[in-house]
Structure 1
Amino acid sequence: MTTTTAPLRRPRKDAAANRAGILQAAATTLALDPSASIDQIARAAGLSRRALYGHFDDRQALLTELIAAGAQRFNAIASSLHEPHPPLALARLTAALWAEAAHVQVAAALALDDTRLEQTATALAPLRRALVGVVRAGQDDGTLRVDMAAPTLARLIEETARAAVSRIDASSPIATSIAVRAVLSIAGLSWRESEALLNAHPDVLEAN
């Protein structure tokens, strides 16, 4: 007697599409109401509550994946940064992240929420390492402030960006400029130095 083992089946395309649709519906719904229930998200996705639970165990699991998706996109931006001048690197990184935040601002806000900072520390580790590297390089060449350790300064920069994500509408035409200038200020540049840097490299803000 012979037996055969059925080959493992890949997830059906419609299942993958439903999962992606749920994540998109969650982002849209949470942008309007951060406390939106799982039922509201399911309705926005055009699915029943039971169907949604076929993809996510609970609301927290859904939020975790939404955060992870946003973190992955932010980390990819950080890994693609190849700018040797630290202040300009910091400006470009901030501008690029801010442009992405316009698409995933809900995920960014969720990720930076006090109750989820520990959860997202691991998810955003590549971005944080890149930021510390830029800060340390700037301290080594004297272009960024040196009155505190690189990890501490990087954390202050992160907190500045966190506040900006929470307080400023990412779709505003001046939002990128505000975010970049705030980060450069915390990093040790005067407003005149920031102005000169951005005037010399207008593509930093024009690309967003």
Structure 2
Amino acid sequence: MRKGTERRPSARERNRRSILDAAQAVLREDPDASLDEVAARAGVVRRTVYGHFTSRHDLVVALVRAASADFVEQVGEVDPDAPDPAGELAATLLRTWSTSRRYGPVIALARRTADDEIRAAMAPFHTIMIRLLENGQRAGVFSRHVAAPVLAEVLHAGSMAYQHAAQDGRWDGDEADVALGHLLTLGVPETEARAAVARATT
């Protein structure tokens, strides 16, 4: 390859990307959608889908891996030992909300299976979030009535609830509202929670 030139994706790579994009959109609308529906949205025949993914499960795992890559890319910016855990959590939620909304329905679908491979794909993001929550608990900023891993699950469920409400037209808030809601869930007083969100947005 000549210096300064980029390799163009092959037809197979373009097909795979089209299938993944289509699957993400279709499964967001209908978590029980079939591979035929994914193929139709991608503009390919079912055989082409099977040429990349041997089953619907394999396709979902591939989507979760893509989501994990997005999350993990942003994890590098998270300081789990930050002296301002509330502000750090708010900033993390602000950065990851768009990814969470894009992939949330697929991740929720995948979690139904409790698949070890899927859990492993999301583990780096969950691990650093738990560390940040533990930091906030030690500092007395976050509630200590339950362990940090449980709080992480509570926050995930809350994010999913916001996403569903937005899709149904029952909620029209933004990522700042999500960050505020999560901090309130963690026991941060409202005035302090709003201040933390403000710090995260500056």
- Decide which of 156, 159, 176 is 1:161's aligned counterpart: 159
Alignment map for 1:95-106 (pairs within 5 Å): 95-102=94-101, 104=102
Which amino acid counterpart does residue 76 of structure 1 have in structure 2?
Answer: E
The yes-or-no answer on 1:197 pairing with 2:178 is no
Q: For residue 88 of structure 1, what is the aligned residue in structure 2? A: 87
CA distance in 2: counterparts of 1:170 and 1:181, whole angstroms: 21
In structure 2, the partner of 1:9 is: none
TM-score (normalised: structure 1): 0.79
Q: 2:127 — aligned with what?
A: 129
For 1:185, the equivalent position in structure 2 comes to: 184
Match of 1:38 among 35, 43, 49: 35
1:3-46 CA distances to partner (integer Å, 9 max, x unpaired)? xxxxxxxxx81111111111111112223333322112112212
Closer/same/farther in 2, CA of residues 189 and 34 from structure 1, 3 Å limit: same
* Offset at residue 201 of structure 1 (A): 4.2
Label 1:146 to 1:196 Cα distance change in 2 as closer, same or farther (>3 A).
same
Deviates more, 1:87-96 or 1:162-171: 162-171
* Distance in 2 between residues matched to 1:86 and 1:98, nearest whole Å: 18
- Provide structure 1 residue ranges, at least 5 long, that are not aligned to the other structure: 1-11, 204-208
Residues 125 and 180 from structure 1, CA distance in 2 versus in 1: closer, same or farther, beyond 3 angstroms? same
Q: How large is the Cα RMSD of the aligned pairs?
A: 2.5
Percent of aligned pairs with the same amino acid: 24
Check whether the contact 2:91–2:197 (CA below 8 A) recurs between aligned residues. Answer: no
Distance in 2, Cα, partners of 1:201 & 1:16: 38
CA distance, structure 2, for counterparts of residue 198 and residue 135 of structure 1? 16
Larger Rg: 1
Choose which of 123, 142, 145 in structure 1 pairs with 2:143.
145
1:45 aligned partner, one-letter code: A
Count of residues in Structure 1 that have an aligned counterpart in Structure 2 = 189
Q: Which runs of 5+ in 2 are unaligned?
A: 1-8
- Preserved CA contact (<8 Å) 2:27 2:106: no
TM-score computed with the length of structure 2 as normaliser:
0.81
Describe the superposition over 1:69-89 as per-residue Cα deviations: whole angstroms up to 9, x where unpaired. Answer: 112211221232137210011
